[in-house]
Structure 1
Amino acid sequence: FKPVFLGTAHPRSELAQHRRVVNSQKCVRAGGKHNDLEDVGRDTYHHTFFEMLGNWSFGDYFKEEACSMAWELLTEVYEIPRDRLYVTYFGGDSSLGLSADEECRDVWLRLGVPASHVLPFPLKDNFWEMGDTGPCGPCTEIHYDHVGGGRNAAALVNQGSPDVVEIWNLVFMQYSREVEGNLLPLPQHHVDTGMGLERLVTVLQNKRSNYDTDLFTPILDAIHKGCGGPRYQGLVGDADVGRVNMAYRVVADHVRTLCVCITDGIYPGLSGAELVLRRILRRAVRFCSEVLHAPSGLLASLVPTVVEVLGDAYPELTKNADQIMDIINENEAAFLSSLERGRRIIERTVQQMEPSTNFPAEVAWSIYGNLGFPLDLIDLMLEEKGISLDSAGFNKLALEDAKRKAGGLQAGQLKDINTCLDVHSLAQLRSNNVPATDDSPKYAYTLGQHGQYEFSPCQATILMLYRDQSLQKEVGAGQCCGVILDRTNFYAEQGGQASDQGYMIRSGQQDILFPVESVRLCGGYVVHEVTALETLRAGDQVQLFVDEAQRLACMTNHTATHLLNFALRHVLGDNTEQRGSHVTAEQLRFDFDTKGPVTVEQLQQVEQVVQDMIKRNEVVYMAEVPLTLARRIQGLRAVDEEYPDPVRIVSVGVPVESMLTCDSEAAMQTSVELCCGT
């Protein structure tokens, strides 16, 4: 409804015709301005997923009617005792030139709410903003005292007490926050209210905790059945020894979120909402494994119970239950292999730390980036050991990473180091008969039974190290260097595709990660840019782990460039030629030449062709073919660059072998390209 608030909705649109609306919507708060993730599990009333009940007024009723209707519903329809309800209003802010919302206060007093139950609060509590800019305004909240008994609980309102909890927020949209930070009055006044279903159910079922209602108890029972151990007791804080009850709440909450998001087409991934969901899943897996000591697969086994609880309201959950379980199991298996390694790294680092020092940011960043640990998960693991993270250092590393991504740079390009072998080093390697790197394992991935790609680690030997433009047999701890291996499963940057990232570990030393930040191909040698956390030596045996999420994102975007290339030729004609592309985990760029300008209609046709091919979900075929034979394929697309012999061919929907006969026109009907990427 934001266009209505800002007056940007077209006056003839259906949206602009609404004056009063009521709705229920699925909400996830786990990132951005309204982020409840770190609170979930610690208390009994925050959730990542919840159902929001709302009523809206667009230039129609305002404060008097909104407050009156809310009070009537709660006290007369739901028959909630009036003496258990407290209301708050905006107490003003002199820095913004805003006075207290006395109009709202007076409405509540006229409705019969005692003055002792009508409380002013400052900007942070009673002024609601959608984001850094946009519609905003003062709000009034209705809080419920779970204890009651005639006591005065005014001092507990907005104090984080589990006994006095906000159940309804009525926002009066009066202003628009501009980019400069100033507030401008909206031409019309609007109302946006939100009441969490879970908190309302807690009140109506006369419970003290959301997790004691029938929205959660079946899930908590299923968790107990799946892992054994003590039952859920509703304990919080210091009373919750071992954080078992917190784990119950985290898992119950997070599995609901996973079910709803996956059903709506959001899957655990590398960026945006997908990355947030990935963190939620991994947080749940960690609590299952390390706190509840549950067997693998517990999280997915809870899906049928979630469907039973929510399926009537959201029938789409029932249809997608099997898919949800498969996706959860796949992601859990991937994370469990990293979880134990991360735990050992943290324990080893803590043992080596000086007393009263913070956990080093570099180690935390390595765990965060290379093992996919959410930051709040790292904080929790450190908190359990009574230590804190060097947050300032971590934030600095995060800022550097954001700048790198914004500039389209590889990780190593922010550092003053050149890991590309110069001509003298290449000559020295060859004169010493150091063999070129076998990088064929980069294609040694398989498709699992549920359709997910599986990447195996690669065993390798360090042949030589490269630093300060010279080959070296040994590099000390803390230094960044190039590592040349006899074989690798890492993809080196070439052909417009960004290199893999990941890490290596030394054989027999599982608790130290050597982050691989970028990979380059220099004269047949694959050079891995590595930060040596301990001394590295030629002859060391190592195991290589590719960042699977980053590789998959690059694979997806690379396939998208192939589809786009075919679609452009299909729509614009055979005179369309690719001139380059750039593929990273976050984005893709495709450069091409064609005769004449491209119209909007043609772009829409290109988009439709690509979408149709994606919807058909066709198999992507790959095969190595002698270069001379490959060039005979009709319609084969190849960029003007040097290709190896034999060359790799990638085809969508049609097996490569069927295209190799002289009279085959199969390649004219789909995307077929020479490709050295992944």
Structure 2
Amino acid sequence: MKSQEIRSKFLRFFEDKKHSIVASAPMVLKDDPTLMFVNSGMAPFKEYFLGNAVPKNNRIADSQKCLRVSGKHNDLEEVGYDTYHHTLFEMLGNWSFGDYFKKEAIAWAWELLTEVYAIDEDILYVTVFEGDEEDGTEMDTEAYNFWREHISEDRILKGDKKDNFWEMGDQGPCGPCSEIHVDIRSAEEKAKISGKELVNKDHPQVVEIWNLVFMQYNRKANGTLEILPNKHIDTGMGFERLCMVLQGVQSNYDTDVFSPLIREIETITGKNYGGNEKADVAIRVISDHVRAVAFSIADGQLPSNTGAGYVIRRILRRAVRYGFTFLNKKEPFIYRLVDVLSKRMGTAFPELKEQKQLIENVIKEEEQSFLRTLEQGLVLLNRIVEESNGDTISGEKAFELYDTYGFPIDLTALILSEKNLKLDEKGFNEELQKQKNRSRAASEMSTDDWTILTDDAEEEFVGYDTLEANVKLTRYRKVTSKKEGDMYQLVFNLTPFYPEGGGQVGDKGYLEDTHGDVVYILDTKKENNVIIHFTKNLPEHLNETFKAVVDAKQRSRTECNHTATHLLHQALREVLGTHVEQKGSAVHSKYLRFDFSHFSKMTVEELRDVENFVNRRIEGKLPLEEMRNVPKEEAIAAGAMSLFGEKYGDTVRAIKFGKSIELCGGTHVKNTSDIWHFKIVSEGAVAAGIRRIEAITNDAVKDFYFENNRAYFEMKDLLNNAKEPVKALQVLQEENSNLKKQIETLLKDKAKNIKSVLKNELTEINGIQFLAKKLDLDAGGLKNIAFDLGSQFDNLFLLFGTVQDGKALLSCYISKELVSNKGLNAGKVVRELGKYIQGGGGGQPFFATAGGKNPDGIDEALTKARDYLI
């Protein structure tokens, strides 16, 4: 059975069971601060489990893209070494929100597996929760008895809290679960040991394929459990593992999910899968990782140095280094796999086809960049090896190479072993642990349970129409972190405060009670469909009505910038072409940032045309036309643009200014004339095929022109109020250039004179021509003299010192003959003598420099140079 049919049969089965079939949510989360990525099928539905929203249908089924490479669920380092762990995987799931429960979930799972997929029940095992004394939970006898209706009791196993109790996090909805395991070993292997002995023992052919979670508890901050008012079903079946079972193979990588990618890697690299274990691991790593990276980029997350972007970059770099090390690929090639991936999975996930060119461009550029890093790292590692004493490289040096330059530690260890050297792994791990401890301490946070003040859980956002409202506090909680200290999160029955989202920052403002006491709102965010207000102080009178007031000036400036991003998007598509698509935005009160797909740097003329296009719409005084709570299909049919990577509900809000119409939940000006003026301040590359524009509007433009005007008159004043300041500057530049040439000529003459004097000062020590002297030259002059003398004398050892801008500089030159015959090394010399000038440096064995902050130490360094020849 092909993988596409396997997926389709799952969805059709649950559609027949009255489930709504929904598309996979974007893998990159934008409104859940507890997760970077969707790491399980339930993550997009957390708001339903928490009771913060009501689903359109209480029964849902889907195939959800998931990524497990960070935090609690991290399978990254196992990927490639076994047959069933992945970074990205599909989770087939069916969900019940307060509808059916254990009986139906178990019966339907059994029906699907044994009747629809025709899996032999003799290879299946199930587990149930055995209970936990610490939690005060008993064995899940209800699930056990339901399973007895379908499978023999000797195949129902009891599992502990680790394997059979599922939790969303440290707090929140949770409950016991039943796992379904499959034993695909040969008959001979089964005769040696029963499958029940291998369940949950990490055996590659006895694996879990489906987990049925029975959400019936809520975990409180103090660890205790309380019964949920509504019970839910959350199931997740590993699509890749199911394909392995149904296609009769022993590895996920032998299924048609991965085999086309593996064949393409074989073609590109000339390596045969199955021929060499290390190469096989590399091929598995690459075939897995390209899926994770491609889907992330398609969902709007580009590789970067922070947050989710760093995770994606790390995955891709892991793939590159496996190709570099074990497949001998020293040039980009992973991007060539995207074509195969989009053909195989583009039907189920059309974003792969639609974003194919962008994905290829980004991956190729990242590959090129990291391959350059590897080359640089090899040079630095060779230098470390040259300077080392003994057969062991310090863990501290290896960690610096890893942390500062991004050079993989496993590659360091491999290269050292090839040179018969050892790595101080203990020292490296100690440095790595120190870094992790620092990072953990900085992000450590504790969150109290919500204190509920009213049962009214309804919450309404009124900020589109007003900046002030009388509100009631419905719940609050305390959050403590090392970075922020104590903070309070407040939730109201209604609020005018816009929560951060769609690139727009959250509102700030204040609360005022009837006694005149004021509490400042420092930020507003949305978490699992709840608008949360952040404050340093808890209001004193919790049960009173508060006047909630948004900072009008900040909101107005932010609205100007948000509306400008819509007009900018329209302008770019008009000026550059309809290939332009928004790839990210940041809307602040002081500026806006807009990322978009485009293949080249914008010209001055194009930037001017874009500015003019936007400003004409501002001058045109276009009114805001808003459509609220309209069906998504209706808004799209009306011409509204939707963005890749955004999660939209069944009903949406569309914003229209003239011919610009987009789906958007942000706040906007009532008329484009409110923006006053639009000015681009920068344009540059973010990644291959992605450009970034930063721009300003309204008061920021006024400040911009005021500052430029002030700078203009200051410049004119410095030019003696020249009538044509540009021409006056050109004259100054020409004069400066001529003077520089004259100085260079004088310095060359000076150097020639010095060189003729220095020849006579050379001293022979043990057959070596030696000179250590302080000179009044810059770094370039010292180098020129050193190389000039080096071309005239063999066996030359020179050390020059000078002072530049109050800092000390040492330059060392050693003839290549001395480097090879005597083992002298200029880099080592300047590093050791650099301590006298309170500095350091390095370079090549025959020429190196060091800088320091103590010019008084130059004379002692010059004196000590003689010791290298005695």
- Greater shift, 398-407 or 115-124, is seen at 398-407
Residue of structure 2 equivalent to 1:186: 228
Select the residue among 115, 126, 143 that pairs with 1:87.
Answer: 126
Counterpart of 1:48?
Answer: 87
Structure 2 matches for 1:575-614, cutoff 5 A?
597-598=551-552, 602=556, 605-609=559-563, 611-612=565-566
Query: Mean alpha-carbon deviation: is it higher for 126-135 or for 285-294?
Result: 126-135
2:112 is matched by which residue type in structure 1?
L
How many Å apart are 1:399 and its aligned residue?
A: 3.4
Structure 2 counterpart of 1:145, from 177, 183, 205:
183
The offset of 1:39, in angstroms, is: 1.3
Q: Secondary structure at the match of 1:302?
A: helix
Q: How far apart are 1:211 and its partner, in Å?
A: 0.5
Aligned equivalents of 1:216 and 1:23: distance in 2? 21
Residue aligning to 1:588:
none
Q: How does 1:301-316 map to 2 (within 5 A)?
A: 301-316=336-351
How far 1:263 sits from its partner (Å)?
1.0
1:169–1:617 Cα change, 3 Å: farther
Q: Residues 622-637 of structure 1: matches in 2 within 5 Å?
A: none
How much does 1:370 deviate? 2.2
Q: Report if aligned partners of 1:101, 1:138 keep a CA contact under 8 Å in 2.
A: yes
CA gap 1:404/1:85 in 2 versus in 1, 3 angstroms: closer
Residue of structure 2 in register with 1:366 after alignment: 400
Report Cα offsets for 1:527-563 as digits up to 9, x if no partner: xxxxxxxxxxxxxxxxxxxxxxxxxxxxxxxxxxxx9
1:616–1:133: structure 2 CA closer, same or farther, 3 Å change rule?
farther
- Which of 278, 291, 306 does residue 256 from structure 1 map onto? 291
Equivalence for 1:245? 280
Q: Is the 8 A contact 1:134 1:178 kept in 2?
A: yes
2:104 aligned with 1:65: yes
- Find the counterpart in structure 1 of residue 240 from structure 2: 198
In 2, the alpha carbon distance for the partners of 1:375 and 1:91 equals 42
The match for 2:314 among 264, 270, 279 is 279
Does residue 4 in structure 1 map to residue 48 in structure 2? yes
Q: Distance in 2 between matches of 1:52 and 1:564?
A: 31
Paired residues, what number?
442
Q: Which residue of 2 aligns with 1:388?
A: 425
Which residue is equivalent to 1:582?
none
Tell me how far apart the structure 1 counterparts of residues 504 and 234 of structure 2 sit (CA, whole Å).
42
Distance change (3 Å), C-alpha of 1:657 and 1:51: closer
**Aligned equivalents of 2:443, 2:116: Cα separation in 1:** 54
Tell me by how many angstroms 1:308 deviates.
1.5
Give 3-state SS (helix, strand or coil) of 1:284's partner. Answer: helix
Q: In structure 2, what is the equivalent of residue 219 of structure 1?
A: 261
Task: Please give the secondary structure, in 2, of the residue aligned with 1:195.
Answer: strand
CA distance in 1: counterparts of 2:362 and 2:567, whole angstroms: 23
AA aligned opposite 2:60: V
Partners of 2:413 and 2:57 in 1: CA distance: 46
Matched, 1:333 2:371: no
- Structure 1 distance, partners of 2:414, 2:66, is 25
Partner-residue secondary structure (3-state), 2:425: coil
Partner of 1:268: helix, strand, or coil? Answer: coil
Q: 1:651 and 1:188, CA in 2 relative to 1: closer, same or farther beyond 3 A?
A: farther
Cross-structure match for 1:166? 208
- 1:671 and 1:147 map into 2 onto residues whose CA distance is 64
Q: CA deviation at 1:343?
A: 4.8
What is the Cα deviation at residue 256 of structure 1? 1.1
**Distance 1:332-1:118 versus aligned 2 partners, 3 A rule:** same
Deviation at 1:602, TM superposition (A): 2.6
* AA at the equivalent of 1:158: N
Map of 1:23 onto structure 2: 62
Contact 2:611 2:679 in 1 (8 A): no
Deviations, residues 261-307 of structure 1 (Å, cap 9, x unaligned): 11111110122211110000100110111111124121011111111
Residues 419-430 of structure 1: matches in 2 within 5 Å? none
Contact 1:84 1:148 in 2 (8 A): no
| Rounded Cα–Cα distance in structure 2 between residues aligned with 1:60 and 1:37 | 36
Asked whether the 8 Å contact 1:299–1:328 carries over to 2, the reply is: yes
Bigger radius of gyration among the two: 2
1:122 aligns with 2:76: no
Counterpart CA distance in 1 for 2:125 and 2:158 is 11
Instruction: Name the CA shift for 1:19/1:325 in 2 (closer, same or farther; >3 Å).
Output: same
Out of 273, 288, 311, which is 2:323 matched to?
A: 288
Residue in 1 that maps onto 2:607: 653
Structure 1 residue 58: deviation in Å?
1.1
SS in 2 for 1:287: helix
Compared CA separation, residues 377 and 608, structure 1 to 2 (3 A): farther
Aligned 1:447-486 pairs, distance under 5 A: none
1:615 deviation in Å? 3.3
Residue 670 of structure 1 corresponds to: 679
1:232 has 2:273 as partner: yes
TM-score normalised over the length of structure 2: 0.46
* 1:386, distance to aligned residue in structure 2 (A): 8.0
* Corresponding letter in the other structure for 2:207: V
Contact 2:130-2:140 at 8 Å conserved across structures: yes
Percent of aligned positions that are identical: 43
Change beyond 3 A, Cα 1:118–1:348? farther
Greater Cα shift, 603-612 or 66-75? 603-612
* Counterpart contact for 2:266–2:273, Cα < 8 Å: yes
Distance 1:272 1:97 in 2: 38
Kindly state the Cα deviation for residue 374 of structure 1 after the two structures are TM-superposed.
Answer: 6.6
SS in 2 for 1:277: helix
1:329-363: CA deviations, max 9, x gaps?
111111111123435656776895988x9962x43
TM-score of the superposed pair, with normalisation by structure 1: 0.59
- Contact kept, 8 Å, 1:2 with 1:135, in 2: the verdict is no
2:216 paired with 1:156:
no
Distance 1:220 1:386, change over 3 A: farther
Query: In the aligned structure 1, how far is the partner of 2:168 from the partner of 2:342?
Result: 31
The amino acid across from 2:259 in the alignment is T
AA in 2 matched with 1:177: R
Q: Distance in 2 between matches of 1:267 and 1:100?
A: 46
1:604/1:670 CA distance change after superposition, 3 Å: closer
Correspondences of 1:381-420 after superposition (within 5 Å): 388-389=425-426, 390-400=428-438
Q: Measure how far apart 1:204 and its partner are.
A: 0.9
CA contact (8 A) 1:382 1:388 kept: no
Structure 2 counterpart of 1:257, which letter?
Answer: A
C-alpha deviations, 1:392-448, integer Å up to 9, x for none? 4322223335667999xxxxxxxxxxxxxxxxxxxxxxxxxxxxxxxxxxxxxxxxx
Stretch deviating more after TM superposition (174-183 or 387-396): 387-396
Match of residue 77 from structure 2 = 38
Given the superposition, is the C-alpha separation of residues 115 and 404 from structure 1 closer, same or farther in structure 2, using an over 3 Å criterion?
Answer: closer
Which residue number corresponds to residue 267 of structure 1? 302
Are the counterparts in 1 of residues 413 and 423 from structure 2 also a CA contact under 8 Å?
no
Inter-CA distance 353–133: structure 2 relative to 1 (3 Å threshold): farther
